[in-house]
């Protein structure tokens, strides 16, 4: 008898910079009060569903880490092993980091900002050395182990997928195939990359990660996607707590892209 294994993907709760409508990217913004409550609601939903995990993965940014902590505390699973990696970080917004999205649209035009935010392979302007947050990000101890050329100065969605997928393919997929139930708490764009990889641009799920199913246009902070791996195939079980599908997703593909490095 073949056993089905679960993967739960959670987007972090609202950050303080989400709250102020700023481009956040690799800046280490904390959860807002609303974001913490979103994480607690996610924990309750997971607990009510009776979900148990074996291994946890998150980024090295505190808004994702704290979301995971809150879920593990709320489900009495804080003893689980947690692995953090820069490869699950949010997309690097380069020179846009710290800017208000509405003010940036007024300055550069809504169409240009839409291209920077939503196009697949067009990155925003790079983060120059004199940028207000360049030193804070580039000299952070959490990135000391990166190889030359791995630390980006900006990323398109394509670049984000290219650096997230090696971790997905080399670490997470083998765990699931070994029978582990896995939870990933990360960010809108790194999660979009995983979903794109599995779904082949399944629009409904990508839109859900963008809006949280609310139609508000704001990121779907604190939302959950549940996938099942069964008979060498991925199945969407649930997203935004309501959707169910028996759609079969090819388990393995390979994406490669040159990152925007400098």
Catalytic residue among 12, 57, 131, 187: 12
Is 90 among the residues known to form the active site?
A: yes
Catalytic residue among 90, 155, 199, 226: 90
Question: Exposed e or buried b for every residue in 109-147, given b needs 16+ CB within 10 A?
Answer: eeeebeebbeeeeebbebbeeebeebeebbeeeeeeeee
Residue with tokens 């582990």: 180
98 is annotated as contributing to ligand binding: no
Is 57 among the residues known to form the active site?
A: no
214 is annotated as contributing to ligand binding: no
DSSP string, 28-59: -PPBPHHHHHHHHHHHHHHHHTT---SEEEE-
Beta-bridged to residue 55, according to DSSP, are 182
117 is annotated as contributing to ligand binding: yes
Total Cβ atoms within 10 A of residue 252: 12
18 is annotated as contributing to ligand binding: yes
DSSP string, 180-206: --EEEEE-HHHHHHHHHHHHSS-HHHH
17 is annotated as contributing to ligand binding: yes
155 is annotated as contributing to ligand binding: no
11 is annotated as contributing to ligand binding: yes
94 is annotated as contributing to ligand binding: no
188 is annotated as contributing to ligand binding: yes
101 is annotated as contributing to ligand binding: yes
Structure tokens at 244: 């169910």
Running DSSP on this structure, what letter comes out for residue 87?
G
256 is annotated as contributing to ligand binding: no
Phi, psi angles (nearest 5°) of residue 107? -80, -45
118 is annotated as contributing to ligand binding: yes
195 Cα distance to chain centroid: 10
* Catalytic (active-site) positions: 12, 90
Binding residues: 11-18, 63, 90-93, 101, 117-118, 188-189
Binding residues for substrate: 11-18, 63, 90-93, 101, 117-118, 188-189
């Amino acid at each position: 008898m073949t056993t089905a294994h679960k993967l739960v993907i959670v987007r972090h709760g609202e950050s303080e910079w989400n709250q102020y409508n700023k481009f956040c990217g690799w800046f280490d913004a904390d959860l807002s009060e609303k974001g913490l409550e979103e994480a607690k609601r996610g924990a309750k939903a997971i607990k009510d569903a009776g979900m148990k995990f074996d291994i946890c993965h998150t980024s090295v940014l505190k808004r994702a880490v704290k979301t995971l902590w809150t879920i593990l505390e709320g489900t009495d699973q804080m003893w689980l092993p947690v692995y953090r990696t820069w490869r699950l970080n949010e997309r690097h917004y380069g020179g846009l980091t710290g800017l208000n999205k509405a003010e940036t649209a007024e300055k550069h035009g809504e169409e240009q900002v839409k291209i920077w935010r939503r196009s697949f392979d067009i990155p925003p302007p790079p983060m120059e050395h004199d940028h207000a947050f360049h030193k804070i990000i580039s000299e952070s101890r959490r990135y000391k182990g990166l190889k030359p050329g791995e630390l980006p100065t900006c990323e398109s969605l394509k670049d984000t997928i290219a650096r997230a997928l090696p971790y997905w393919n080399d670490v997470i997929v083998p765990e699931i195939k070994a029978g582990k139930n896995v939870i990933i708490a990360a960010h809108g764009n790194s999660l979009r990359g995983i979903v794109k990889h599995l779904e082949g641009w399944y629009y409904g799920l990508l839109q859900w990660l963008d809006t949280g199913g609310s139609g508000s246009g704001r990121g779907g902070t604190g939302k959950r996607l549940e996938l099942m791996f069964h008979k060498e195939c991925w199945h969407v079980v649930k997203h935004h707590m309501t959707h169910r599908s028996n759609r079969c997703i090819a388990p393995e593909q390979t994406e490669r892209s040159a990152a925007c490095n400098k």
